[in-house]
Structure 1
Amino acid sequence: MSDALNDVLDTQRDEERRKAVRALLRSPLLTPRGRQAAEYALVRRHAGVLAEWFARETGWSLHTDSGVARLRKTPGRLDDGSRAATARSKGPFSRRRYVLACLALAALERSESQVTLGWLVDRVMAFAQDEELTGAGIVFALDKRDERADLVAVAQLLLEIGVLVKVAGDEQSFVNRSGDALYDVDRRVLSVLLATRRGPSMVAAAQDGPQDRPQEILRDRLRAITEELTPDTGDGRNRQIRHTISRRLLDDPVLYYADLTTDERTYLERQRGPLLKRLTEATGFVAEVRAEGIALLDPTREATDLGMPDEGTDGHATLLLAEFLSDRLRAGLDTVGVEAAEQHMKKLIGAHKAHWRKSAKDPGAERELTALALRRLAALGLIALSGQTVRPLPALARFGYAPAKITGKNRV
C-alpha cells in the first residue's frame, strides 16, 4: 500500500514538473497574479530541480522569488526575426514600437510606484529627443492616431508581462484623447526583465562596425550581448553545442539539419537518442524525427504560443494557404511569389466568404490575410520569406494532401 502511494506521488510530482517546464517555455516570466498564478505556484514549488535541469540542458538560468519566476532564455539562433513581440493590438511589433518599449522601461526605472499612461507618454517623448535617436531617423509625435496606438500597444505589452498592473482607466480613452489610465509599477518584474548576458549599454561603440551596414551592426550587437564564455576544451565545446541544439529544439518549432554547423550535425548524429530522451521526459513532448530535421511536438498545447491549425478566419486561411504552398513544394517548385499566394487567397475568399468574417470580403483583403498567414507560417518554421519570395520548407509537407496510392491486390 505504501509503495503504491509513493508511486502515485512520484508520478504526480513528475507531471507537475513537466507542466512547470512547459509553462516556462511558453511564458518565461510568470507572476502570482491572474491566469498565471497556478503555473507560477508549480514553478515555485519545484524551483530547485527546474533551475538545475535548465542550467544543465540549455544553459538558461532560472530566477524565482515571492513575486516573480523568470527563465532567462537565450535563443539558439540570432538571425530569426519571424517571431516579433505582440500585444493585444493586431500585428507584430515594429521598429518604432520596440524603441518605444525600451524608452518606456527606462522611464519606469525612474518612476514612482504608480504612474499614469499620460505621465509615461510624456517621459517617453522627452527621452525620444535624444540626439542619437533623432540622428538615426527615429522621430515620435502624438499628432496621429496610429502613433498614439503604438504607445498603447507598448503599455498593453507591459501589462501582459506584468511590469504594469492596471488600477483604473482605459488605454483606448488615451487614443481617443478622452481619458487616461492608472497603473502600479511592479519593480520585481522590472528588475528581472533583461535576460541578456551583458547590458546593451555595455556594448562599446567600436563594435558597431560600418554604419552603412545596419544588418551587420544588429547581428554584432546581438552576438555581443548574448556571448557566453566557455572553456576552450573538448567538454566545453560539446556543452556549448548541446546547449545550442537543446535551445533550438525547445524554443523553435522545427530544427532543420541544413541549418546546423558541421560540428553541431556531428554531435547530434552521435547523441540524438540520449538528448531527445532527456528533453521529452522532462517536457512531455513527442519527438518527430524526419530526414530533414527534428520537431518536438506538444500534445498538451500548454507550451504552444502559436498553433497550427488554429480556429477562426485567420487560422483557416493559414491552413488553406499552407496546403497551396505544400502542393507547390511537392511539384518541385523551390519558391513561390507573394503575388501568386495573394491570388490564391483571393480564390479562397470567394470559396469561403460565407464562413469567414465580413471584413474578408473587403477590396484588397486578400493582401492582409496573405501577409498574416505568411508571417504565421514563417514563425512556425514552415516557410522562409525573402522580400516578395516565399520558400516552402520541408515541414510544410505535413499540411499537404496527396492522393492515396493503392498497392498490392487487396483493396479497401
Structure 2
Amino acid sequence: MHPIITAAERPEDLALIRGHAAELKTMFKRTLNYQLVIESGFARLLKTPLSQDTVVRPALATNGTEFAPRTYAYLALVCASLLSPNTGEQVLMSELVEQVRADAVTAAIAIDDTTAEQRHLVRAISLLVTWGVLSEVDGSVAGWEHRQDEEALLDVHRGLLPHLLTRSLRDVDDPGRLISGTPVEPLAAERPRRDLRRKLVENPLVRREDLPEAERDVLSRERRELTRVLEESFGLVLEVRAEGALAYDVDDDLSDVRFPGTGTTAHAALLLVNALTDELRPTATTTATIDERVVPGAFVSWDTAQSALDLVVEQYGSAFAKGAVADQDRLRTDVLDLLQAVSLAVVVPGGFVLHPAAARYRPEPHRAPAKTRAQRRLDDAPPALFSTGQSDHEGES
C-alpha cells in the first residue's frame, strides 16, 4: 500500500523493515518477483510491470484529484531538475521553479505562468513531498501556489530519486518499453505462479477468462498452496469461484480502495449492486459481452442503472450527503468509478457489465446450510456466485 517508506515520515515502520530486511527481500522476490531496496533513510518496493488489464491507480493530488497528463509531465521535469548538478541538498521553491522552466526549454516542452500550469507544478512537487523525496523546512509548497512572493525552503533527499522508477533508464530506448517492460524471470516455470500471485495481490478481483491458460492451470491445480502463500505472506484470504478469484484483506492493512466502505459513494454503490441484482435476477448461466467476448456477468443499461439509483436515492437519500443527492449524475459517475476500481464493473457500449462477484456483497445475504458449505470446501469444483449469493466470508477487497 505504501511502496515508499521514509525515516522522516514513518520511522517505526522503516525500523521494522530494516530489522527484517533479509526475510522481506527474499519473500517479495520469491512470491512476486518484486525488488525491495532498503537504505538507511528509506525503503522502496519496486514492483514488476503488471498486465494491461490491471486496475488503473493514478497518482492523486492532496484533494483526491487524479493527475492529468500535464501533471505527470511536470513530475518528470521536477525529478530531472532535482537531479541537476545545480541543485543542492536544499533548494528554494523559486530556484526549483526556475530550473524546471530551464529544463522544459531544453526538452522542448512549452510551459507558461498561468494559474492552471502553476497548479500542475504544485501538485507534482506536493507528491514528491508525500513520497519523502522533498521535505518542507521553512514555508510550504501550497502557500507558494497562492502567493509566489512567499518563499519555501525544501530539503532534497537525493538518494531516493533514482529509485522512483521501477527500472533503470540506462537500458530503455523509448517510453513504451519503460511502461510495458517484460520482467525477467529466473525460471520460466515459475512465471505463471508469480504472475497469478501479483494479479491477486494487486487487483481486487481477477476474471478467470482474463487469465492465460498456464495461470488458470495454477489456479485449479495449486489452489491450496496459493491460498497458503497469500495468507502467510500478505494476510489475504483467497476465494475461488467459477467466474474468477478474489483475495480480500481481512485486517484492512493493504486496501487502498475499500469496498464495502464508508461515505455516500460507497453506501450508494453497495445499495445499487443490491438493487440491480434484485432487478435483473441473474443466475449462474447469465452472460454478457465485453470486447466481443461472452463472459459471466449481467449487462446493465444506463437507463436501468439510473432507474435503480433513483430508487436508492428515494429510499436512502436522507442519509446521503446533500451534494450527492442534488447532483445524481455525479453520484452515478462516482459510484461507477468505485465499482470499476474494485473490478466489479466494466463499462461497455450502452452501459456496463456487473461481475457475478457483486453478489457476495449483498446487504441481506442468503446463507446456505452449514453442511452444504462444508461439502463445497471439499469439492474441487468452485461454485458460481450469482447462484449462491454472498460468500461465507466478508471483508475488504
**TM norm structure 1:** 0.76
1:339: how far off?
6.2
CA separation of 1:345 and 1:53: change in aligned 2, threshold 3 A: same
Alpha-carbon separation, structure 1, partners of 2:34 and 2:264: 37
| Identity between Structure 1 and Structure 2 (%) | 30
Alpha-carbon separation, structure 2, partners of 1:239 and 1:79: 21
CA separation of 1:204 and 1:283: change in aligned 2, threshold 3 A: closer
For the residue of structure 2 that corresponds to 1:335, the secondary structure is strand
Q: Residue 179 of structure 2 aligns to which amino acid in structure 1?
A: L
In the alignment, structure 1 residue 383 sits paired with structure 2 residue 341: no
1:11 maps to what in 2? Answer: none
Give the alignment partner of residue 330 of structure 2, picking from 356, 363, 368: 368
CA separation of 1:387 and 1:73: change in aligned 2, threshold 3 A: farther
Alpha-carbon separation, structure 2, partners of 1:103 and 1:305: 27
For the residue of structure 2 that corresponds to 1:370, the secondary structure is helix
For the residue of structure 1 that corresponds to 2:319, the secondary structure is coil
CA separation of 1:368 and 1:347: change in aligned 2, threshold 3 A: same
Greater helix content: 1
1:348: how far off?
4.2
1:5 maps to what in 2? Answer: none
Give the alignment partner of residue 99 of structure 2, picking from 91, 110, 123: 123
1:70 maps to what in 2? Answer: 44
Structure 2 unaligned runs (5+)?
Answer: 289-297, 370-397
Count of paired positions: 353
For the residue of structure 1 that corresponds to 2:184, the secondary structure is coil
Give the alignment partner of residue 310 of structure 1, picking from 233, 240, 261: 261
Structure 1 unaligned runs (5+)?
Answer: 1-25, 134-138, 209-217, 408-412
Give the alignment partner of residue 133 of structure 2, picking from 163, 171, 186: 163
CA separation of 1:406 and 1:175: change in aligned 2, threshold 3 A: closer
For the residue of structure 2 that corresponds to 1:54, the secondary structure is helix
Give 1:165-184 correspondences, 5 Å limit: 165-177=135-147, 179-184=150-155
Give the alignment partner of residue 193 of structure 2, picking from 223, 232, 242: 242
Query: What's the CA shift string for 1:171-229, capped at 9, x where partnerless?
Result: 33333236343321112222322213x42x74335xx8xxxxxxxxx5x6522xx3233
Alpha-carbon separation, structure 2, partners of 1:406 and 1:202: 56
Alpha-carbon separation, structure 1, partners of 2:100 and 2:303: 39
Give the alignment partner of residue 227 of structure 1, picking from 161, 173, 182: 182
Alpha-carbon separation, structure 2, partners of 1:396 and 1:190: 41
1:127: how far off?
3.2
Alpha-carbon separation, structure 1, partners of 2:73 and 2:279: 39
CA separation of 1:182 and 1:326: change in aligned 2, threshold 3 A: farther
CA contact (8 A) 1:76 1:245 kept: no
1:301: how far off?
0.6
1:385: how far off?
2.9
In the alignment, structure 1 residue 356 sits paired with structure 2 residue 292: no
CA contact (8 A) 2:230 2:237 kept: no
CA contact (8 A) 2:90 2:155 kept: yes
1:257 maps to what in 2? Answer: 208
Give the alignment partner of residue 158 of structure 2, picking from 138, 163, 187: 187
CA separation of 1:338 and 1:105: change in aligned 2, threshold 3 A: farther
In the alignment, structure 1 residue 112 sits paired with structure 2 residue 88: yes
Give the alignment partner of residue 55 of structure 1, picking from 29, 37, 43: 29
1:92: how far off?
1.8
CA separation of 1:406 and 1:65: change in aligned 2, threshold 3 A: closer
Alpha-carbon separation, structure 2, partners of 1:117 and 1:322: 48
CA contact (8 A) 1:321 1:345 kept: yes
1:403: how far off?
8.1
1:124: how far off?
2.9
1:240: how far off?
1.2
Q: Residue 125 of structure 1 aligns to which amino acid in structure 2?
A: R
CA separation of 1:353 and 1:265: change in aligned 2, threshold 3 A: closer
1:289 maps to what in 2? Answer: 240
1:30 maps to what in 2? Answer: 5
Alpha-carbon separation, structure 2, partners of 1:165 and 1:387: 46
CA separation of 1:150 and 1:319: change in aligned 2, threshold 3 A: farther
CA contact (8 A) 2:299 2:352 kept: yes
CA separation of 1:317 and 1:183: change in aligned 2, threshold 3 A: farther
Alpha-carbon separation, structure 2, partners of 1:45 and 1:85: 30
Q: Residue 99 of structure 1 aligns to which amino acid in structure 2?
A: A
CA separation of 1:329 and 1:242: change in aligned 2, threshold 3 A: farther
CA separation of 1:171 and 1:304: change in aligned 2, threshold 3 A: same
1:280 maps to what in 2? Answer: 231
For the residue of structure 1 that corresponds to 2:261, the secondary structure is coil
Query: What's the CA shift string for 1:2-39, capped at 9, x where partnerless?
Result: xxxxxxxxxxxxxxxxxxxxxxxx111111223x2222
Stretch deviating more after TM superposition (289-298 or 387-396): 387-396
Runs of 4+ with >6 A deviation: none
Alpha-carbon separation, structure 2, partners of 1:176 and 1:319: 39
1:274: how far off?
1.4
Alpha-carbon separation, structure 2, partners of 1:97 and 1:345: 34
